[in-house]
Amino acid sequence: MSIDTVRVDLGARSYDVRIGRGLLARAGAEIAPLVPKGRGVAVLTDETVAGLHLDSLRDGLGGIGMVAHAMAPGEATKGWAGLAEAVDWLLAEKVERRDIVVALGGGVIGDLGGFAAAILRRGVRFVQVPTTLLAQVDSSVGGKTGINSVHGKNLVGAFHQPSLVLADIDLLASLPERDFLAGYGEVVKYGLLGDAAFFDWLEANGPALAAGDAALRQYAVRRSVEMKAEIVARDETEQGDRALLNLGHTFCHALETATGYSGRLLHGEGVAIGCALAFELSQRLGLCPQEAPGRVRAHLRAMGMKTDLADIPGDLPGVDALIGLMLQDKKVVDGRLRFILARDIGAAFVAADVAMEPVRAVLAEALSGR
Ligand code: GLY
């Protein structure tokens, strides 16, 4: 099976996303053009990923030397203390301005490692090696890097594009099923937001893809990355169209906050439920066909994914509290909710000023099903 290349076209900051099997094993050949002669690379990872993949990366790098630092796994690492730990380690390893940092891991390590690279010596280059489906199709591409603050998630950060992304499809085989399906929530999002034919393809191929078919997985990652690359090239810093990538996220962030960013709801699970709710809202506003929300939910159900609020274990706050959490979202401008709505499957758009009443009605109905 061959390796696909998707170019993220950003002028002098353009880079390739390489997608395929066996990329870790050929990491040396892939990364070598970026590494100054006689220098090695500094790898940031977490303890779980290190146990699974660090030796393979070391072998794959061949003649390129490697030092590595494994951080505690989990979202708590993505804060000020974790950032200081990463940056101080890179400085202790004498990483210089022209060197390459490699972020080997999921979204936490990619975001944190990317931000450490952005601020180290006022910016060094970095390579993303995403190890989760969510990181391969979303967080490793597009240059959003950062950490969480006590005031909220991802509130401190920088746009810093990687120099290369290596998405090795074989690494997805080591993911627990729940994590894989959560990442699949972001894959479905791409079909829903901009490519109805891709959503058709996912309906037909999703179950085999989830069961482990590597060729189908590679196509799904490639198509997702192509869509993200095209949107990021149009709007790198989210002044407009990049917000389309937030389909489902306003509902998702409220639900994540309500569940305390705990194991009760993974981010990709919240995105899937949020997409279903965004289609319910679009239909209630008379924007999309009657049958579209049912079709979205039927696919999520067929994949064994969380689809409704009833699928979230434990208590949820009421409508008013959920609306209150939505109003705290980064996407609120002057107290008005900015939603990504849809005219149909594959036809999302940014709606800047959504009335509260239909949002309340959708949430009330969704909560009554619990
Ligand atoms: N994850 C959304 C974005 O990269 O813009």
Amino acid code (one letter) for 218: Q
Establish whether 256 is a catalytic residue. Answer: no
Question: Which of 244, 245, 256, 331 has most ligand 1 atoms within 8 Å of CB, for mutation?
Answer: 245
39 is catalytic: no
**Nearest-5° Cα angle at 188, 222 to 218:** 25
Query: 53, 226, 246, 297: which is the annotated catalytic residue?
Result: 246
| Shared domain check, 218 and 138 | no
Give the β-pairing of 336-344 and 332-333. Answer: antiparallel
> What gap in Å lies between CA 241 and CA 249, rounded to an integer?
15
C-alpha 130/C-alpha 182 separation (Å) is: 15
Q: Does the pLDDT value for residue 68 go beyond 90?
A: yes
Two tokens at 161? 């594009």
pLDDT higher than threshold 90 for residue 353: no
Phi, psi for 100 (deg, rounded to 5): -115, 130
CATH number at residue 65: 3.40.50.1970
Which one from 267, 297, 299, 306 is the annotated catalytic residue?
267
Q: Which of 150, 174, 198 is the last residue of a domain?
A: 174
For the chain, what is the mean pLDDT?
95
The model's pLDDT over 194-209, given as tens digits with 9 standing for 90+, comes to: 999 999 999 999 999 9
Spatial contact of 28 and 61, defined as CB atoms under 8 Å apart: yes
Residue 53 bears catalytic tag: no
From 134, 140, 144, mutation site for ligand 1 pocket: most ligand atoms within 8 A of C-beta: 144
Claim to verify: residue 122 and residue 186 sit in the same structural domain: no
Q: Catalytic: 154? A: no
pLDDT of residue 330: 59
Residue 63 CA to ligand 1 center (angstroms) comes to 35
pLDDT at 335: 62
Compute the distance between CA of residue 277 and CA of residue 280 in angstroms, rounded to an integer.
Answer: 5
Beta strand 66-71 with 41-46: parallel, antiparallel or unpaired?
A: parallel
Amino acid of residue 271: V
Instruction: From 174, 195, 227, give the residue that closes a domain.
Output: 174
Cβ neighbors of 355 (< 8 A, separation 6 or more) are none
Same domain (yes/no): 214, 142: no
Identified catalytic residue from 53, 144, 217, 222: 144
Identify whether residues 23 and 157 lie together within a single domain: yes
pLDDT > 70: what percent of the chain? 97
Give nearest CA residue, ligand 1 atom 2: 245
Task: For the chain, give the percent of residues with pLDDT over 90.
Answer: 91
253 is catalytic: yes
Amino acid type, 171: L
Confidence check: pLDDT of 329 > 80: no
Among all chains, which residue has been given the structure tokens 């627990």? 176
- The SS3 assignment for 267 reads helix
Residues 168 and 54 placed together within one structural domain of the fold: yes
**Whether residues 264 and 340 fall in one domain:** yes
Per-residue pLDDT at 332: 62
φ/ψ (deg, to 5) at 10? -135, 45
Query: What CA–CA distance (Å, rounded) separates 176 from 213?
Result: 15
148 is known as an active-site residue: no
The CATH number covering residue 186 comes to 1.20.1090.10
pTM listed for this prediction = 0.96
Distance 93 CA to ligand 1 centre (A): 31
Choose the catalytic residue: 69, 78, 223, 228: 228
Quick one: 161 and 183 in the same domain? no
Residue 370, pLDDT score = 63
- Within this chain, do residues 39 and 132 fall inside the same structural domain, yes or no? yes
For residue 352, pLDDT over 90 is answered with: no
Report the interhelical angle of 214-234 vs 177-194 (nearest 10°): 50
- Quote the CA–CA distance of 301 and 298 in Å, as a whole number: 5
Ligand 1 pocket (Cβ < 6 Å) reads: 138, 142, 144, 242, 245
Q: Which residue type is seen at 132? A: T
Handedness of CA 319, 320, 326, 332 (dihedral sign): positive
69 is catalytic: no
205 with 221, same domain? yes
For residue 64, the enclosing domain spans 4-174
100-149: per-residue pLDDT in tens?
A: 999 999 999 999 999 999 999 999 999 999 999 999 999 999 999 999 99
Mean pLDDT, residues 337-351: 94
- The alpha carbon of 138 and the centre of ligand 1 are apart by a number of angstroms equal to 6
Mutation pick for ligand 1 pocket among 139, 227, 331, 340 (CB with most ligand atoms within 8 Å): 139
Q: Is the domain of 197 the same as that of 137?
A: no
Instruction: Say what the pLDDT of residue 327 is.
Output: 83
Clarify whether residues 278 and 162 are in a common domain: no
- Catalytic-residue membership of 238: yes
Contacts of 88 by beta carbon, 8 Å cutoff, 6+ apart: none
Cα torsion 110, 115, 120, 125 to 10°: value is 60
Question: What residues contact residue 168 under an 8 Å CB cut-off, 6+ apart?
Answer: 20, 21, 22, 23, 24, 129
End position of a domain, from candidates 174, 205, 221: 174
Q: Which pLDDT band, with edges at 50, 70 and 90, does 326 fall under?
A: confident
pLDDT of residue 355: 86
| Each residue's pLDDT tens digit, 146-190 | 999 998 889 999 999 999 999 999 999 999 999 999 999 999 999
Catalytic residue among 37, 94, 122, 151: 122
| Span 265-284, pLDDT tens digits | 999 999 999 999 999 999 99
In the prediction, which pLDDT does 334 show? 66
For the chain, how many structural domains are there in total?
Answer: 2
